[in-house]
Amino acid sequence: MSLFEPFTIPYMQRALVEVLVLGALAGAVGVLVVLRRLAFVGDALTHTVFPGIVIAHLLGRSILLGALAFGVLTAVLLTVLGGHRRVGNDTALAILLTSFFSLGVVLISRTRGFTADLTVFLFGRVLAIDRTDLVQTLAVAAVAAVVLAVLHKELVLRAFDPEAAAAMGYRTGRLDLALNLLIALVVVAAVEAVGTVLVIALIVVPAAAARLLTDRVGAMTALACLLGAAGGWLGLAVSYEVSVGYDLRLAAGATIVVVLVGLFGLAAAVAPLRRRWATRKGLGNPMGVPQ
């Protein structure tokens, strides 16, 4: 199997750039998602941008703008609804997620080609993205990367010690909104190209794997970016190789997810070894996590 040969074809090159950028970005944001246990928020956002995409599609407007509008709306609603005493956070999420998704399904069920559209939304069409898609993704990813770089210290502080963050004068509500918006940006950048199922995997799986391998936030972020990008590359190569070489069509997006989960399994397998080594070297446990 070759890791480079498939990427001499233009559409494979575009797919590769797309998954490398998204893998790295989603890995970096995913670290915050995993530290704050917000995997469900990520999952919710991947579903709630759907009606935005459908409405934009029906009106003939930019799909990116439609997704962005609903992503921002969800981020705000989540921050507000999560505060209600009698409605738990995950309850609010589940209702918001399913009702927005249903709205999209109802709207799109009025059009022809219903099932094909839905499948593209769920699983993406990473092999069919064109230059415009790529530029849009890169632009949104750049904005998300800048926000992440500017607020990273504050967001990490908020994740570990909300009281200290509040005492130091940071508005934790605004930081929560910023993180929700960041997740929304990643979802919006990725959803049209790679589909909702892949987005949530790109956000959660590399970060969860990195969490198994290191205790330091900086190292965890670097590792998550690396794992996300590597999983994307490897997944594309495997999907191409099997589809062309063995005539067994493997969906590219789903193959990437399976490779990522395989990397997570590998991390889970070597994590106990690493911890034993770190303990013997006396490197201890800087985050104070009970072992």
Q: Rule CB under 8 A: which residues touch another protein? A: 34, 37-40, 42-43, 47, 84-88, 90-91, 93-95, 97-99, 101-103, 105-106, 109-110, 114-116, 118-119, 122-123, 197-198, 200-201, 204-205, 207-208, 211-212, 248-251, 253-255, 257-258, 260-261, 264, 268, 271, 289-291
Q: C-beta of 287: minimal distance to another protein in Å?
A: 10
Nearer of residues 200 and 217 to another protein, judged by Cβ: 200
Nearer of residues 134 and 261 to another protein, judged by Cβ: 261
Nearer of residues 2 and 98 to another protein, judged by Cβ: 98
Nearer of residues 4 and 246 to another protein, judged by Cβ: 246
Q: C-beta of 99: minimal distance to another protein in Å?
A: 3
Q: C-beta of 135: minimal distance to another protein in Å?
A: 27
Q: C-beta of 239: minimal distance to another protein in Å?
A: 9
Q: C-beta of 162: minimal distance to another protein in Å?
A: 17
Q: C-beta of 201: minimal distance to another protein in Å?
A: 4
User: Tokens in use for 240?
Assistant: 């191409």
User: Chain centroid to CA 225: how far?
Assistant: 11
Rounded-to-10 torsion of CA 218, 233, 44, 90: -50
Q: C-beta of 98: minimal distance to another protein in Å?
A: 3
Dump the DSSP string for the chain. Answer: --SSGGGGSHHHHHHHHHHHHHHHHHHHHHHHHHHTT-HHHHHHHHHHTHHHHHHHHHHT--HHHHHHHHHHHHHHHHHHHTT-SSS-HHHHHHHHHHHHHHHHHHHHTTSSSHHHHHHHHHH--GGG--HHHHHHHHHHHHHHHHHHHHHHHHHHHHHH-HHHHHHTT--HHHHHHHHHHHHHHHHHHHHHHH-HHHHHHHHHHHHHHHHHH-S-HHHHHHHHHHHHHHHHHHHHHHHHHHHHHS-----HHHHHHHHHHHHHHHHHHHHHHHHHHHHHTT---TT----
Nearer of residues 110 and 280 to another protein, judged by Cβ: 110
d(CA 182, CA 174): 12
Nearer of residues 64 and 75 to another protein, judged by Cβ: 75
CA angle 128, 20, 33 (to 5 degrees): 110
Nearer of residues 64 and 197 to another protein, judged by Cβ: 197
Q: C-beta of 101: minimal distance to another protein in Å?
A: 6
Nearer of residues 212 and 225 to another protein, judged by Cβ: 212
